[in-house]
Amino acid sequence: MINLREGKYFVQHRSVESLVEQYGSPLYVYDGNKIEEQIAKMRAAFSGVSVKLKYACKALTNVSIMRLMLKNNMDVDVVSIEEVQIALQVGFKPGQIQYTPSGVAFSEIEEALALGIRLNIDSLNLLEWFGEKYGNAHKIALRINPSILAGGNYKISTGHADSKFGIPVEYLDQILEMVKKYDLQIVGIHQHNGSDFKDGEVIVKAMRISLELAEKHFPNLEFIDMGSGFKVAYHEDDHITNIDLIAQDVVKEFKAFQGRYGRDIELWFEPGKFLVSECGTLLMTCNVVKHNPTRNFVHVDSGLNHLIRPMMYDAYQEIVNTSNADTAEMEIYDVVGYICETDTFGKDRKMPVVQPGDILAIKNAGAYCFTMSSNYNSRRKPAEILVYNEQVHLVRERETMEDIMRNQILVEL
């Protein structure tokens, strides 16, 4: 989260120049207090019911960010055995870790269960294998696919009929058969239908499907888990999630359900983007400004190796020139990376004139940015810093050449 004050950009009390001077470029910067603000917003919005928030740590898996979540009494949603291990190392108790795997090896499930982790089951095969091996020894939740198209981009839409995720609701009979056969303890119904929802009605519509299943077939539930997908503003004019408005409808619907169900159960969400997207900024330095006959290019010291969302999802990420903010002289640029691919961060961006050495900032770089980075072109990953209560913490070292060479074996041929 960067703020413009009197022609200069700051993260809390620190100017972006001073951060780059101290920690180098490119640099991921996270504002910890912004994360707390988002957590509070979500809790307040859903305060009418017993809401539990499980941070989807795939969005930003840095251990210090996860520690901040723990400090704020968050639980965590994980999607791999590696994330399970990280969450345990951060200090989450096994009971706070909900594992939502997608088509992983059964050995990974066994490992997680042995550690006391709770599981969302997302295929009929897995349900069968689980039943055969564990019967009613563990409480489990079912991830269902409600056949609803939602999400900002097809690649991040996960609840539609052609998606690989969840057990299609159409297979209810088979689910119930297995529940009976293995005496399964189903304590939750889970859905996650996509990221970047624009409309709250989608959540209500999807939730109704889970609530109906609960009422008709699953009398022993402890929770309904509605995953996440709450959109944040990537663009100034973006239609974003109005969390209070959505919550009003959701809470009303959920309360009415509890009346019919005969008791209060928990409502879970697994927010990633909503909590950590806006807190993050990628600071980069302009290497070269290139004027071609048809376009102006700003080349920065980063690329799709550090932030791939625009190239992968055609996602819009706002970019500002922090070094020249108070000039009236504007120019239109394509902001591009240094990777040998067409790695365009932003096309036709109007901004104060850029010169080599200027620091550019990509906003909304907290969620799915560092965690989706790679070493393509043998480039090193940036450092990450966390600014929290006006203190700056280095939370990941910049990679070194040794990191790039680690694990590679040069054989004499």
Q: Compare residues 141 and 359 and give the one whose CB is closer to ligand LLP.
A: 141
For residue 118, state whether it binds ligand LLP (rule: CB under 6 A): no
3-state secondary structure of 194: strand
Q: Which of 159, 227, 280, 337 binds ligand LLP (CB under 6 A)?
A: 227
Closest Cα to residue 167, out of 122, 211, 130, 126?
122
Please enumerate in sequence order all residues whose Cβ is within 8 A of that of 409, keeping only pairs 6 or more positions apart, or say none: none
For residue 202, state whether it binds ligand LLP (rule: CB under 6 A): no
- Can you count the helices (H) and strands (E) in the chain? 12, 21
Closest Cα to residue 221, out of 144, 308, 304, 156?
144
Size of the site for ligand LLP (CB under 6 A): 20
- What count of Cα atoms within 13 Å lies in the side-chain half-sphere of residue 278? 19
Q: Which of 131, 229, 280, 352 binds ligand LLP (CB under 6 A)?
A: 229
Per DSSP bridges, beta strands 383-388 and 359-362 are unpaired
Q: Which of residues 63-102 bind ligand LLP (CB under 6 A)?
A: 77, 100
| Contact between residue 266 and residue 222 where contact means Cβ atoms under 8 Å apart | yes
For residue 313, state whether it binds ligand LLP (rule: CB under 6 A): yes
Binding mask 327-366 for ligand LLP (x = CB under 6 A): ----------------------------------------
Torsion angles phi and psi, residue 315, rounded to 5:
-75, 140
For residue 228, state whether it binds ligand LLP (rule: CB under 6 A): yes
For the CB of residue 137, give the shortest distance to ligand LLP in the complex, in Å. Answer: 24
Q: Which residues pair with 118 in a beta bridge?
A: 98
Per DSSP bridges, beta strands 280-291 and 27-31 are antiparallel
Q: Which of 309, 349, 363, 381 binds ligand LLP (CB under 6 A)?
A: 309
For the CB of residue 117, give the shortest distance to ligand LLP in the complex, in Å. Answer: 14
Q: Compare residues 96 and 195 and give the one whose CB is closer to ligand LLP.
A: 195
For residue 271, state whether it binds ligand LLP (rule: CB under 6 A): yes
Active site residue 286: no
For the CB of residue 229, give the shortest distance to ligand LLP in the complex, in Å. Answer: 5
Identified catalytic residue from 57, 279, 286, 340 = 340
- Cα distances from 108 to residues 124, 144, 338, in angstroms, run 17, 21, 38
Q: Compare residues 76 and 351 and give the one whose CB is closer to ligand LLP.
A: 76
3-state secondary structure of 166: coil
For residue 270, state whether it binds ligand LLP (rule: CB under 6 A): yes
Q: Which of 63, 124, 156, 325 binds ligand LLP (CB under 6 A)?
A: 156
Q: Taking the C-alpha atoms of 397, 398, 400 and 406 in order, what is their torsion angle to the nearest 10 degrees?
A: 60
Q: Which of residues 180-199 bind ligand LLP (CB under 6 A)?
A: 192, 195
Q: Compare residues 346 and 352 and give the one whose CB is closer to ligand LLP.
A: 346
Return d(Cα 355, Cα 250) in angstroms, integer. Answer: 49
Q: Compare residues 241 and 323 and give the one whose CB is closer to ligand LLP.
A: 241
For residue 129, state whether it binds ligand LLP (rule: CB under 6 A): no
Stated length of the chain:
413
For the CB of residue 142, give the shortest distance to ligand LLP in the complex, in Å. Answer: 13
Of 10-18, 222-230, 240-248, 398-406: span binding ligand LLP (CB under 6 A): 222-230
Q: Compare residues 190 and 349 and give the one whose CB is closer to ligand LLP.
A: 190
> Angle CA(404)–CA(406)–CA(408) in degrees, nearest 5?
95
For residue 272, state whether it binds ligand LLP (rule: CB under 6 A): yes
Q: Which of 56, 68, 70, 186 binds ligand LLP (CB under 6 A)?
A: 56
Residue nearest to ligand LLP (CB): 272
Return d(Cα 178, Cα 171) in angstroms, integer. Answer: 11
Closest Cα to residue 72, out of 44, 97, 118, 37?
37
For the CB of residue 228, give the shortest distance to ligand LLP in the complex, in Å. Answer: 3
Please enumerate in sequence order all residues whose Cβ is within 8 A of that of 143, keeping only pairs 6 or more positions apart, or say none: 100, 120, 121, 122, 165, 166, 167, 190, 191, 192
Q: What residues are labeled active site?
A: 340
Chain residues binding ligand LLP by CB under 6 A are: 56, 59, 77, 100, 156, 192, 195, 227-230, 270-274, 309, 313, 367-368
